[in-house]
Structure 1
Amino acid sequence: MKTLIDQLSNYAAYHRDPRNIVTHYIGVPMIMQAVVTLLARLRWGAFAGVPLSLALLMGIVAAVYYCVLDIRYGLFMTALLAAMLALATPMAALPTAQWLAWGLGLFALGWMIQFIGHYYEGRKPAFLDDVMGLAIGPLFVVAELSFALGLRKSVQAAVELRSGPVRRRQSAPA
C-alpha cells in the first residue's frame, strides 16, 4: 500500500499552481457533499437511530483508509465525513427533484470549479491517470490547508521534495 507521502506527492504533482489549489478548497468539498447526499438516499434501515445507507458505508470505508494512511488526518477526515453525512441525511429525505437538484447541482458546480483550476494548472486532473485521485483529493485539500496554517511541516517538506513547491508566479497557460 502506498504511504501518505506517496499518495499526497502523486496528487500534488498535478496541483502546483496556487489558483488550482484554491479551486480545490471550494470544488472538492462541494463534490464530496454531493456524493454523500446522493448516496445517503440509498438506505436499508437504521441502527440505534442512525440511518444505514450507502453513504454511511462508503464513509466508514474512506475513514478507515484515511486513518490507516495517517491517524491525525484520518481523524479529521472522519469528523468531516460525519458532518457531511449529518447534512446529507435530511437532504436525502427531500422530494426526489429537490434531492437531485442539490446532489447533481453541487456535483456539477464543484467539477466546473475544478476544471477552471486545472486550466490554470495546465494539466489534467490526477484521477484521469489514477482513479485513487478521487479518494486522495479530499485528503489533499485538508493537507494543503494544514500546510497553509503552518502545520505538518515535515509532511509538507516530504511532499514538496517529490512534487516540487507550489508555484508562486501566476500566469495563465498559453
Structure 2
Amino acid sequence: MKPSEKSQAKHSDSINHLMTEYHKSHINRTNQLIHYVCVPLIFWSISALLWLVKIPVVINLALVVMTLLMLYYLLKSVKVFACMLVFSALCLGINFWLEAQALPLLWIAVVVFVLAWIGQFIGHHIEGKKPSFLQDLQFLLIGPAWVVFKFFKIKL
C-alpha cells in the first residue's frame, strides 16, 4: 500500500469521517427523530438479549460484548468512548433492573427490537436512502454514537 493510500485508509476509518458518512443517510428531520428513538431501543434490546446469555465467571454475554464495544469506541475517540460508556452503563442498568423485577426480559427485548427496526426502515423509506450499515457494517456501531452526539448536540 502506498503512503497516500495508507493516509486515505486511515482517514476513511476516522471517527469524524464515519460520523459524516453516517449523517449523509440521515438528513431528513423525520428520519432523524425516528433514529433518536429507534437506535437507542435497538442498542438496548441487543444488550438485553445478550444479558440473558449467562456465562460462568463473567456473569453474562452482554458484559463481554460491551467491553469489546467500549474498546472499539476508545480506539476511535476518547470522547465517543466516554459518551457510549455512560449510555451502555444505562442500558446494562435497565437490564439489571428489569431482570430484578422478574419481568419477561426476553419478550420485551424481542418486541422492542422488532418494532424499532420497523421504525428504522420507515425512517429510511421517508429519507429515500438505504440504511448505512448496508454500505459498511461498522455503521451498526457508529449509529448509536451518532445518535448520542446529534441528540445531545455534542461536538467531536
Rounded to whole Å, the distance in 1 between the matches of 2:56 and 2:119 is 35
Unmatched runs of 5 consecutive residues or more in structure 2: 1-9
Rounded to whole Å, the distance in 2 between the matches of 1:41 and 1:15 is 32
- Using the TM superposition, give the Cα deviation of residue 92 of structure 1 relative to its aligned residue in structure 2, in angstroms: 4.9
Give the ranges of 4+ consecutive aligned residues of structure 1 lying more than 2 Å apart after TM superposition. 89-95
Rounded to whole Å, the distance in 2 between the matches of 1:63 and 1:90 is 22
Find the counterpart in structure 2 of residue 167 from structure 1: none
- Using the TM superposition, give the Cα deviation of residue 132 of structure 1 relative to its aligned residue in structure 2, in angstroms: 1.0
Q: Percent identity?
A: 28
Unmatched runs of 5 consecutive residues or more in structure 1: 156-174
Q: Does 1:21 align with 2:32?
A: yes
Q: 1 or 2, which has the higher helix percentage?
A: 2
Change (3 A) 1:132 1:92: farther
Find the counterpart in structure 1 of residue 14 from structure 2: 3
Change (3 A) 1:146 1:76: same
Q: How many residues align?
A: 144
- Using the TM superposition, give the Cα deviation of residue 109 of structure 1 relative to its aligned residue in structure 2, in angstroms: 1.2
Find the counterpart in structure 1 of residue 79 from structure 2: 72
| Structure 1 SS opposite 2:137 | coil
Counterpart selection for 1:81 from 77, 88, 93: 88
Rounded to whole Å, the distance in 1 between the matches of 2:50 and 2:76 is 24
Alignment of 1:139-158 (within 5 A): 139-147=145-153, 151-152=154-155, 155=156
Counterpart selection for 1:55 from 47, 52, 62: 62
Rounded to whole Å, the distance in 2 between the matches of 1:114 and 1:90 is 27
